[in-house]
Amino acid sequence: MSTLRVGTRGSALAMAQCAALAERFAGEVELVPITTKGDTDRSSLQQLGGTGVFVSALRDALLDGTVDVAVHSLKDLPTAPADGIELAAVSKREDARDALVARDGLRFAELPEGAKVGTGSPRRAAQLRLARPDLEVVDIRGNVPTRIARALGDAETGEGADLDAVVLALAGLKRLGLDGKATDILDLVDFPTAPGQGALAVEIRAGDAAARAAVAKTDHASTRASVDAERRVLAGLEAGCAAPLGAHAEVADGMLFLSASAYATDGSKRLTASHAYTLDGTASAELAGAARDVAERAVAELMEAGAAELIADAR
């Protein structure tokens, strides 16, 4: 078989996570970095229009034949299906939690009153404000090392820090070997993370059986069902990837659990729905049905409680 060309964003994080996954693809593999608007434009995620900024360039490269496979961070993937594109695999999830990187080794509870905490995510901003109304949340962008430097200063000189802490995905830190910089890990009960956080999506051209076979081994059924449930909440609430919405699902003890929370951006309100489905086995059809079921119930409960208004206010 010819070499499988695997497209990824060109950031260190994207390259690292793609390389680790592609090791498990069958046959010869070549990584092809593709620059996306999310990499070149420094304006805030909200200004960029959120949904899909990191993804569309990679999909274009798939469709025009530049690459045969595209690897994305699942949380960056819009929920709407894309024409001509097939989701061939969902990788086993890395830790889904968010991490705090703070000056002087501070844990979240130890941040002083009025501390400046950086994040570009409306969800993280709302969660921080809810937990600690005294904090000053600062909108930041940039790659992982850049964001860490806002709290810890330059990696060599330690100079230039202008924030007390930043919040990032632990998965991203781990993939870059930077998880040692985390000074605290935020628990999923108080800080449920973005739908799909920590998992990777492997997309191919629809119907490309050779590419599908080459990546098949990287598909992880319970992660696929879990992120499917989380993303169904996102879709059901008609929220974009920049919405103040946290959702976390997992398969454990013979059940699929889902908990989802919608927030007022100012941190004044949180709505939560938690549901479980008891599984008879691990067949993928049953997992898929379970994901639909828990997501439907969570969406209905959140809608009933007024989540649509919260999400709309955030736009």
Binding residues for ligand PBG (CB under 6 A): 73, 75-76, 168-169, 171-172, 197-198
Nearer to ligand PBG, 15 or 276 (CB): 15
Q: How far apart are CA 14 and CA 88, in angstroms?
A: 18
Minimum CB separation from ligand PBG for residue 92, in Å?
12
Nearer to ligand PBG, 53 or 279 (CB): 53
What six digits make up the tokens of 134? 């005294």
Nearer to ligand PBG, 95 or 309 (CB): 95
Residue 66: strand, helix, or coil: coil
Minimum CB separation from ligand PBG for residue 280, in Å?
31
Candidates 5, 59, 93, 147; catalytic one: 147
Is-catalytic flag, 147? yes
Nearer to ligand PBG, 244 or 277 (CB): 244
Candidates 75, 93, 174, 205; catalytic one: 75
Candidates 68, 76, 98, 164; catalytic one: 76
Candidates 103, 132, 141, 297; catalytic one: 141
Residue position matching structure tokens 């490269």? 61
- Sheet with 270-278, side-by-side order of all strands: 245-252, 255-263, 270-278
Candidates 123, 129, 174, 269; catalytic one: 123
Is-catalytic flag, 124? yes
DSSP state of 87: E
Alpha helix stretches (DSSP H) within the chain: 12-22, 37-40, 45-48, 56-63, 122-131, 144-152, 170-175, 209-215, 221-236, 284-304, 307-314
Is-catalytic flag, 18? no
Is-catalytic flag, 103? no
Nearer to ligand PBG, 9 or 205 (CB): 9
Nearer to ligand PBG, 71 or 225 (CB): 71
Minimum CB separation from ligand PBG for residue 289, in Å?
26
Is-catalytic flag, 92? no
Candidates 232, 241, 269, 270; catalytic one: 241
φ and ψ at 156, to 5 degrees? -85, -50
Is-catalytic flag, 75? yes
CA–CA distances in Å: residue 132 to residues 60, 137, 190, 200: 42, 10, 12, 31
Minimum CB separation from ligand PBG for residue 172, in Å?
3
**Which residues, listed in sequence order, are joined to residue 5 by a DSSP beta bridge?**
30
Minimum CB separation from ligand PBG for residue 91, in Å?
9
Q: What is the chain's Cα-based Rg?
A: 19
Minimum CB separation from ligand PBG for residue 94, in Å?
7
- For residues 112-146, one letter each, b for 16 or more C-beta atoms within 10 angstroms of the residue's C-beta and e for the rest, the string is eeebbbbbbbbbbbbbbbbebeebebbebbeebbe
Q: Which residues lie closer than 8 Å to 89 by C-beta, 6 or more apart?
A: 201, 202, 215, 216, 218, 219, 220
Is-catalytic flag, 76? yes
Q: Which residues are catalytic?
A: 75-76, 123-124, 141, 147, 241
